[in-house]
Structure 1
């Protein structure tokens, strides 16, 4: 034993985290005390502790993690809240750490001003005291409660809810977590945990609270036909109707309805409240209660109320992670560095969201980078002003006024995804672009699960913009046919409707669908209260000039205003992506190709090539359309080569609505491209 060190035995709830935190304290936080550690990671001691023990520094104490048996006496450290483990005899299949005598703890309230220190557990209790008290009240009255929340919150909520109910409780933890596994089990398999849960249900006295923190994992997390594990679990929980249950499921997973029906009450602990309560019944912003004084002081003009819309979709633990991330990014900056502002904090929070997400990114496109489309910009600016100012809207009207999403429709290459990126930048949020076919899956229920997970992740990263590219592939009109493909498509649309109807104005999540075929979208999604269609058409003359000016500057092409005006006139019928390709190809050729300068003649050649390519494609489409008409009328082709037949006036009238612009026009040949674009 090291000289001068005390030895204390502990039975922690999370041995791995507890041991790692203790070992790293000497390097990371040498002043960490035993009491501070126990408040962060609760544990019981194998001998009575005094307040003096809690003042000892962790680096001066040798800790021992005990493998306590059923007869081992355990003690609650003085002043440490270990909620949810009420008086009962530790049984042979229950770890003593979850079956001990604990006093009912009073609620935790916020204090005026920013706290000096704040643990993750304290943050959760401060943010969700109303939900904890509500669940405890139902449990106290003998009603089983199912809590829908993210996994990060379960370890902090489970014990507190059961503890405040005042009923004897037992907690069953799923194997494979950092928590103690059930003693006597040969492995961490799901079957072993189910066996232990059955045993606990059988032995539970009437009125006992049985806490199942990972109910969704034990039940298989599926809404399709019951798996064998889900069937066994359902049977076990229905056997003892007098046993009060407290179960937890993740928003991205699902449990069979027959199992969920075992619970009398279902509660959601999903988003942060705008304000939290103090002991004198006043309210303080969550950005004040959950941010320490040191963290807030690092950023000039810290706005506790303004922080909310950027973190509302996070849970309390992820908020603490994000704030600590932002703080440590700049905590050691040089004195000569520029003073940090609240905007810097928001930028770091956005970066944190993107780094901790598998798909979301932080866009850097603004509306100024999109040439033209002034009317579309005005419509979007009005909608974004409503979303950004949702907190100032009357609460009774907030849900009705804030838009759920848009459907951008129009020809390809007109910048529909670019507008979505600009929207995300304006909101100060993150962006996720999903191709429609990525959502579909061959297995029953998987497509709906993917949609649920997308929306759950979007809420965690709010403010967020989710773009469904090729939206018509997953949101097509529902069919009454009974084939598998129609059923799968109908299920995806139904899940989309469910998620949209669960929209929360406090969590800015904007859904944008892009499509070239608005007529294919299901009518239920086109209701004004769900998606607002916005047409993004080919750019007009003024927009083409603005697009050309922006790309010329971006690629470093020197172009006079007159030349840009000429490019705008010459690109009639082309989209923004076509105009971009003119300057991109010209600049690439100048730097690494023929080394020709990007002058008016070179730009004219590139425009001419684009126009000839477009005309050729239109002619090919016209040829194919003519061949289809000929086949429909019973005429047989006698030659393997399809020949474009002359059309009558009636034929041309019949095709007026289907043939693309310019169809049937011969491609320009033998002309000077520059003269073709910029005529003398």
Structure 2
């Protein structure tokens, strides 16, 4: 597969379009894609490249930077700074920034709009926040807006326009095609020089707009880099200049830069309802969904849709809806079945998973986990609260909705499996991260990873984030001054910050799994943050259910009596060990040398092998080796038992478990007598 790297003005939009086209438009070529979303190549491109279907390409899309850029032949030049932005709707300047009328979407009180552009979606969804930011600007306050990059192009002119002020955007002059090679290296310096001139010359009725403050600062953490120092010098050179800056939630801006702005405000999650042109209130799932899209899915429920889209921004929601509509395009053939609302929800999950390589769609259900009824009941009760968060009293919502759980217990008991079942029950995507993946040798990188992880989770809500080996990043903080202790303390502090910024209306659930809850930091174990749930070794009833689930999964027929004996024989085994019995039996039946039937005898041998392994482990462990003199050790022995010859059925049953006392240190294997109990036969 051919691999190409592109640099785009709007990399997220190009990546989303590429993902959709690769799955559903196999004939779309690279040239067609670049005509829709112009971009530079990071290596020379020719006409042959443009004829290659996107399904045969592996594209890596990056934002414009300092690297050398190559213009694809026949494709319009994608200059971010010289390309004129679409003219905003005319808003008459006023002495005070009163709430402006919403965009003309044609949103009816009881209907969906005929069409919704991306700009209209942004202005409709964030009408209140835009007016608030405009009011601050009109009062002479600089404003820093934290929002996704996809929203910036629709806000840079709209916010100053509603404040009745002229935006200064720092547009660079257009460059000739021959100068494209040198544009990347000098772009930042030119932007900084233009910004310095605007700050110096801005009039009282003007606002200096910095669309990508985080990128101009040039760093990935809170440390003040050389680029950040230059930008700080420019912005502080004239304090009376009014600024409007934008930064992405996943990127850090040095505190000294952020403090230059009198007001910092987020524009992130979608509201549950918006105001219509008639002054009424309508669900966001109605205002941003076209009539054609709503009519396509039988049983479309606008209020119910909200919990599946709350974490998206308005532009990404429109991308997701177009994806779902494309997947279920109306057909006129005989027997075609109309897609249902549940199909729309499923396609939204698919879109989120495809748009992010980190998240996946879980398929595990609670029914596929044997036993543990008490744990299941507790989790289902919590999920009922999470799913109904939007219907809870607003003053109690923050206190009632759980932020996360810590699943703790011995290894192999299904802690990660429970997390996947939780995500499936929520109709959510899931990301499983090993704790050590978070840690980094460079200062600030670990906190950045945590911050980006939570930001991505909010964008993909509803979602479940699982920290496997949670104790490796959430250990109790210490007062030591060594580098390792400082890094660990910083990660815990960042986790606490993210948890305290929890938004109940955005369904994001954090689950940590650990075998060592005793070393988890006490601040994380507060009931208002993580709720500990112990997942212990299964009891006999749970072991029977686990064996039943895995026997069905691997296609091994077992009788009720055999299940009973397996559940007794697997005492002190975890679910993973029980699964290995049926997995190995089925593997021997399919590819073994020689092949062996997955019958009761083979199951008994596998159980016996596991028990023998347990005994050897106990012999080597300090608890057994260090017994007092004269104390006798006991060993459990399991041997397969052949049925009496009078029975014609070839089925075998497991032997009875025996405990054989010995005076030495090695286990004794002894065959047992056939059982005469008809219940066990």
Q: Normalising by the residue count of structure 1, what TM-score does the alignment of the two structures yield?
A: 0.78
Deviation at 1:142, TM superposition (A): 1.0
Q: Secondary structure at the match of 1:306?
A: helix
Between the aligned partners of 1:663 and 1:116, the Cα distance in structure 2 is 83
Between the aligned partners of 2:91 and 2:168, the Cα distance in structure 1 is 8
Partner of 2:261: 263
- Counterpart contact for 1:201–1:240, Cα < 8 Å: yes
Q: Secondary structure at the match of 1:490?
A: helix
Deviation at 1:151, TM superposition (A): 0.4
Between the aligned partners of 1:119 and 1:355, the Cα distance in structure 2 is 23
Deviation at 1:84, TM superposition (A): 9.5
**Matching of residues 488-567 of structure 1 within 5 Å:** 488-567=487-566
Judged with a 3 Å threshold, the aligned counterparts in structure 2 of structure 1 residues 120 and 664 are, in CA distance, closer, same or farther, namely: farther
Deviations, residues 182-221 of structure 1 (Å, cap 9, x unaligned):
9x97855322321221122222224520000000000124
Deviation at 1:612, TM superposition (A): 0.6
Between the aligned partners of 1:551 and 1:175, the Cα distance in structure 2 is 67
Judged with a 3 Å threshold, the aligned counterparts in structure 2 of structure 1 residues 413 and 171 are, in CA distance, closer, same or farther, namely: same
Q: Does 1:607 align with 2:607?
A: yes
Task: Select between 242-251 and 215-224 the one with higher mean Cα deviation.
Answer: 215-224
Between the aligned partners of 1:388 and 1:327, the Cα distance in structure 2 is 25
- Counterpart contact for 2:100–2:131, Cα < 8 Å: no
**Unpaired stretches in structure 2, ≥5 consecutive residues:** 1-8, 18-24, 26-36, 39-74, 94-98, 634-660
- Counterpart contact for 2:274–2:282, Cα < 8 Å: yes
Q: Aligned pairs, how many?
A: 570
Between the aligned partners of 1:213 and 1:355, the Cα distance in structure 2 is 28
Partner of 1:81: 88
- Counterpart contact for 1:326–1:345, Cα < 8 Å: yes
Q: Give the alignment partner of residue 163 of structure 1, picking from 161, 164, 168.
A: 161
**Matching of residues 145-294 of structure 1 within 5 Å:** 145-172=143-170, 187-294=185-292
Q: Secondary structure at the match of 1:505?
A: coil
Q: Secondary structure at the match of 1:358?
A: coil
Between the aligned partners of 2:601 and 2:102, the Cα distance in structure 1 is 77
Q: Give the alignment partner of residue 126 of structure 2, picking from 118, 128, 132.
A: 128
**Matching of residues 362-373 of structure 1 within 5 Å:** 362-373=361-372
Q: Give the alignment partner of residue 315 of structure 1, picking from 313, 316, 329.
A: 313
Deviation at 1:466, TM superposition (A): 0.4
Judged with a 3 Å threshold, the aligned counterparts in structure 2 of structure 1 residues 105 and 518 are, in CA distance, closer, same or farther, namely: closer
Judged with a 3 Å threshold, the aligned counterparts in structure 2 of structure 1 residues 651 and 557 are, in CA distance, closer, same or farther, namely: closer
Judged with a 3 Å threshold, the aligned counterparts in structure 2 of structure 1 residues 367 and 237 are, in CA distance, closer, same or farther, namely: same
Deviation at 1:338, TM superposition (A): 2.4
Q: Normalising by the residue count of structure 2, what TM-score does the alignment of the two structures yield?
A: 0.78
- Counterpart contact for 2:144–2:245, Cα < 8 Å: yes
Judged with a 3 Å threshold, the aligned counterparts in structure 2 of structure 1 residues 672 and 337 are, in CA distance, closer, same or farther, namely: farther
Deviations, residues 527-557 of structure 1 (Å, cap 9, x unaligned):
0100000000000000000010110010000
Judged with a 3 Å threshold, the aligned counterparts in structure 2 of structure 1 residues 174 and 406 are, in CA distance, closer, same or farther, namely: farther
Between the aligned partners of 1:663 and 1:405, the Cα distance in structure 2 is 48
- Counterpart contact for 1:414–1:536, Cα < 8 Å: yes
CA RMSD of aligned residues (A): 3.5
**Matching of residues 557-636 of structure 1 within 5 Å:** 557-593=556-592, 594-622=594-622
Judged with a 3 Å threshold, the aligned counterparts in structure 2 of structure 1 residues 185 and 339 are, in CA distance, closer, same or farther, namely: closer
Between the aligned partners of 1:607 and 1:259, the Cα distance in structure 2 is 64
Judged with a 3 Å threshold, the aligned counterparts in structure 2 of structure 1 residues 188 and 303 are, in CA distance, closer, same or farther, namely: farther
**Unpaired stretches in structure 1, ≥5 consecutive residues:** 1-12, 22-27, 29-39, 42-62, 87-103, 627-643, 653-661
Deviation at 1:281, TM superposition (A): 2.1
- Counterpart contact for 2:102–2:277, Cα < 8 Å: no
- Counterpart contact for 1:476–1:522, Cα < 8 Å: yes
Q: Secondary structure at the match of 2:466?
A: strand
- Counterpart contact for 2:88–2:157, Cα < 8 Å: no
- Counterpart contact for 1:604–1:674, Cα < 8 Å: no
- Counterpart contact for 1:220–1:230, Cα < 8 Å: yes
